[in-house]
Amino acid sequence: EQGKVSVTFNIGTVDISVKELTTAVNDGKYHLVRFTRNGGNATLQVDNWPINEHFPTGNSDIERYQMANKKIPFKYTRPVEDWLQEKGRQLTIFNTQATISIGGNDRKRPYQGQLSGLYYNGLKVLNMAAEGHANIKVNGSVRLVGDVPTSRGAARTTTSVPPEMSTTFIETTTTLSTTTTRKQRSPPTIQTTDDIVSSAECSSDDEDLEECDSGHAGGMGVSS
């Protein structure tokens, strides 16, 4: 959103958003994005910036049950416990997945840039795509990049890579890029990084549309 990272998820009730509002990341540099979730609790960190946290307000269902337990007639105790167990199962909704869609090609303003080291629920999705995994489907103008990619345009400088990633990224990169000028693939290699690394292509929402949106951005789907 306007060059800033945000994560929105829903565990069955309402949308929950965690955002990094202080600094934009559409600066042509690589950024490490770490997102974790446990039930409705979530954290989002970009690079080494302060961690953004979300914790649901109010008491949990278990705490409310314990507070009201003495007032619940004995014959209703079991139904209430069963309801709480079902409520707990709802909180595992993201612990497995049927499909992972990357790139947002079904959205009005899909992601355009480069990704490396995407790691979701123990799945190294970009590795699987590079290795031709049977459950991976690549759509649109997505291409594999086998070297440290640079931003487009002669006026832009080479994209910098964080020191802790420079060696493994250069030598063992697996990156999918949604740029639209080329569609061929270079030979796949293996990715060892476990964080999301992204470089946005446009410096602002007002940048020339021909450069940023010359075609429909691609996407990738993973089915389990």
Per-residue pLDDT reduced to its tens digit, 10-60: 877 788 899 999 889 988 888 999 999 887 889 999 999 999 998 876 555
Range of the domain at 185: 96-223
> How much is the pLDDT for 188?
46
Is residue 25 in some structural domain? Answer: no
Is residue 208 in some structural domain? Answer: yes
Q: Which residue, 56, 28, 30, 54, is CA-closest to 42?
A: 54
Same domain for 122 and 209, yes or no, is: yes
Residue scoring higher pLDDT (17 or 155):
17
Tell me the pLDDT tens digit for each residue of 111-125: 778 888 888 888 888
Q: Which two tokens stand for residue 106?
A: 């079904």
> How much is the pLDDT for 62?
56
What is the percentage of the chain residues whose pLDDT exceeds 90?
12
Question: What angle in degrees, to the nearest 10, is found between the helix axes of 77-90 and 61-68?
Answer: 170
What is the percentage of the chain residues whose pLDDT exceeds 70?
45
Structural domain count of the chain? 2
Residue scoring higher pLDDT (194 or 64):
64
pTM exceeds cut of 0.85: no
Q: What is the mean pLDDT of residues 160-172?
A: 40
Ramachandran angles phi, psi of 104, nearest 5°: 65, 40
Sequence letter at residue 152? R
Same domain for 192 and 86, yes or no, is: no
Same domain for 106 and 157, yes or no, is: yes
Same domain for 204 and 137, yes or no, is: yes
